[in-house]
Amino acid sequence: MSKYKMHLLVCGGTGCRASASDAIVENLKKELNNQGLDESVQVIMTGCFGFCEKGPIVKVVPDNTFYTEVKPSDAKDLVEEHIIKGRKVERLLYKDPVKKVTVSDEEGMSFYKKQLRIALRNCGFINPENIEEYIARDGYMAIGQILSENTPEEVIEIIKASGLRGRGGAGFPTGLKWQLTRQTKSDQKYVVCNADEGDPGAFMDRSILEGDPHSVLEAMAICGYSIGADTGLIYIRAEYPLAISRLLTAIGQAREFGLLGKNILGSGFDFDIELKYGAGAFVCGEETALIHSMEGKRGEPSLKPPFPSVEGYLKKPTNVNNVETLANIPAIILKGHKWFSSIGTEKSKGTKVFALAGKINNVGLIEVPMGTTLREVIYEIGGGIKDGKKFKAVQTGGPSGGCLTEAHLDVPIDYENLLAAGSMMGSGGMIIMDEDNCMVSIAKYFLDFSVEESCGKCSPCRIGNKRLYELLDRITQGKAEFDDLARLKNLSEVIKDTSLCGLGQSSPNPVLSTLQYFREEYEAHIIDHKCPAGECKALMVYSILEEHCVGCTACARACPVGAISGERKLVHSIDQSICIKCGACFDKCKFDAVLVQ
């Protein structure tokens, strides 16, 4: 890298690529070429910077200027102004919405100030398609170190002492999992990386694989050495084409460098990695279901025990870890377990990556120490609620999690606290909702998801979730009775207690948490037939304001069911028994004479 005086890092994450970041790279290269600067300035497409709201992002190194919302047409200015004349392009700098000042580097941005990046340490810094850049940032040092200095047992002790817990959702201690797999005697063992990120609204695993694939490969090799496995498998969603291609490139390069394959670094340790493709099934995030899917079968979970550490892929002991969990491993080995366990809370060590999305100003991928409060995440890093609206709830843990309210904003985030509050860590999706979101509809949305994704093997999940969905649907239609609230609660508890796997055991959580914290909203739907957030269509009533109506007949002509009557130039009226609440009249009226309640 040294022959270049300057580097232009362009975000190549899926979000920024959707906003034409590859065209930015192309144009920058062209401009540099025109100016004869292609020998001294390098353009690198990196992984995700995290600040997706303001993408595409271009960062200039070494002066660390952070440009936001860059368009391909800005390439000329970036080269002519910044690189040749040494002047920052003001209009592309980030403007702090609160302090109203321009900020030119990440350190000065509230989005980055409270973050601590361990799993995401290389995302946005290196070219993920070049192994040398990973090595330049201490990549493959950890595997080198343990192969020459540590026994497998010692490595497991380091991971155990670090306090690292599974980042895929349940938070099982990673070191203990490795130990259990090590203890099982077998001629063949497997290391599996669970990259089946199915939680809608969470994209941290994909960003790590796209931005820093080698860290995952290195960690898998470390795990293989520790548990006594020579084969690693990455189970990845077919919906992630970019992550797949970067992984394949990374595996090829690691083999070329002798960091995967036979006799790694002359140590006598063999380890190689293959990809296995998912085909779109949320339940495959569950480890037994994932293993069945890798074997080419329907991804249905099976009863544990036997745990995969005893009987997993092809009936051999298998250690399954999630992407983010693995990405922490090389850092723990290099910096020591004491460093890692000094970060976080008593029982949750290290950091957690969250995908911040929904009605929030700064949508993006963030990594914070465990114990950071929701308020810090939402208001400081996230920049508050979009369009100055009022915060209503934050949903964590995806379809298995729950909704938390204003009252929970000062809770330090860790596994135990989120569980105690009726939600869960999950894989780290964090969806912010404002006053316009109906909590009954949100619960219904997640149940719709669970119904569709239930594999159907056990009846509490297959039938129970369907009935829960129907009850919720009745409430949003205004056709429910008061006793339905008790039914919802009962049924939810039965499903949680009796389902076979994690999907069913957690699918009623969105219902239970909203029922607990937003009961008055459920009651308003049932008793008053009103949706306080104004989201449930069936509960809206369209009527005509007599004093505004001029009798133009536009609404009557727009109505698809003929529910509106009235003579020309006379006041019209809507027959509520015919109205299907499509809103066509509201859209057509030029005189604000149609009222929605």
Partner 1 sequence: MSSVKIELRKDQVDKIRQIAKTFKNDPGELINVLHKCQGEFGYLPAEVQEVVADELKMSVAKVYGVVTFYSFFSMIPTGRYPISICTGTACYVRGAEKVLAEFKKQLNIEVGTSSPDGKFSLSCLRCVGACGLAPVVLVGDKTFGRVSPDGVKDILKEFEEM
Interface residues with partner 1 (CB under 8 A)?
14-15, 17-19, 52-53, 55, 197-203, 206-207, 238-240, 276-282, 293, 295-299, 314, 355, 357-359, 363-364, 395, 398, 429, 431-433, 437, 442, 445-446, 449, 455
Tokens representing 217 are 């490969």
* Shortest distance, position 275 Cβ to partner 1, whole Å: 10
Tokens representing 378 are 């939402």
Tokens representing 481 are 């009775």
First to last CA, the chain: 63
Toward partner 1, which CB reaches closer, 314 or 580?
314
Tokens representing 243 are 């992550």
- What SS3 class is residue 404? strand
Toward partner 1, which CB reaches closer, 449 or 518?
449
- What SS3 class is residue 321? strand
Toward partner 1, which CB reaches closer, 356 or 549?
356
Toward partner 1, which CB reaches closer, 401 or 422?
401
Q: Residue 166 and residue 285: Cα distance in Å, rounded? A: 13
Closest CA to 118 of 366, 319, 348, 383: 366
* Shortest distance, position 49 Cβ to partner 1, whole Å: 11
Place of tokens 């990455």: 234
* Shortest distance, position 57 Cβ to partner 1, whole Å: 11
* Shortest distance, position 21 Cβ to partner 1, whole Å: 12
Residue 218's contacts (CB-CB under 8 Å, 6 or more residues apart) are 139, 140, 142, 143, 259, 329, 330
Pairing mode of beta strands 272-277, 231-236: parallel
Tokens representing 299 are 């991804």
Toward partner 1, which CB reaches closer, 431 or 555?
431
* Shortest distance, position 66 Cβ to partner 1, whole Å: 16
Toward partner 1, which CB reaches closer, 234 or 431?
431
Q: Residue 408 and residue 417: Cα distance in Å, rounded? A: 10
Residue 543's contacts (CB-CB under 8 Å, 6 or more residues apart) are 574, 594, 595, 597
Q: Residue 47 and residue 233: Cα distance in Å, rounded? A: 22
- What SS3 class is residue 250? helix
* Shortest distance, position 37 Cβ to partner 1, whole Å: 31
Toward partner 1, which CB reaches closer, 5 or 557?
557
Give the number of other Cβ atoms within 10 Å of residue 571's Cβ: 15
Give the number of other Cβ atoms within 10 Å of residue 594's Cβ: 23
Burial of 419 per CB tally in 10 Å (0-12, 13-18, 19+):
middle
* Shortest distance, position 581 Cβ to partner 1, whole Å: 13
* Shortest distance, position 432 Cβ to partner 1, whole Å: 8
Toward partner 1, which CB reaches closer, 384 or 566?
384
Toward partner 1, which CB reaches closer, 356 or 488?
356
Toward partner 1, which CB reaches closer, 221 or 536?
536
* Shortest distance, position 294 Cβ to partner 1, whole Å: 8
* Shortest distance, position 189 Cβ to partner 1, whole Å: 17
Closest CA to 578 of 561, 595, 554, 565: 561
358 Cα distance to chain centroid: 12
- Cβ-defined contacts of 79-85 (< 8 Å, 24+): 79/28, 79/31, 79/32, 79/35, 79/37, 80/31, 80/35, 83/6, 83/32, 83/35, 83/37, 83/41, 84/35, 84/37
* Shortest distance, position 396 Cβ to partner 1, whole Å: 11
Longest CA pairwise span in the chain (Å): 92
Toward partner 1, which CB reaches closer, 358 or 508?
358
Toward partner 1, which CB reaches closer, 326 or 433?
433
Taking a C-beta distance cutoff of 8 angstroms, is the pair 570, 551 a contact? Answer: yes
Beta bridge partners of 366: 354
Q: Residue 360 and residue 352: Cα distance in Å, rounded? A: 19
* Shortest distance, position 324 Cβ to partner 1, whole Å: 14
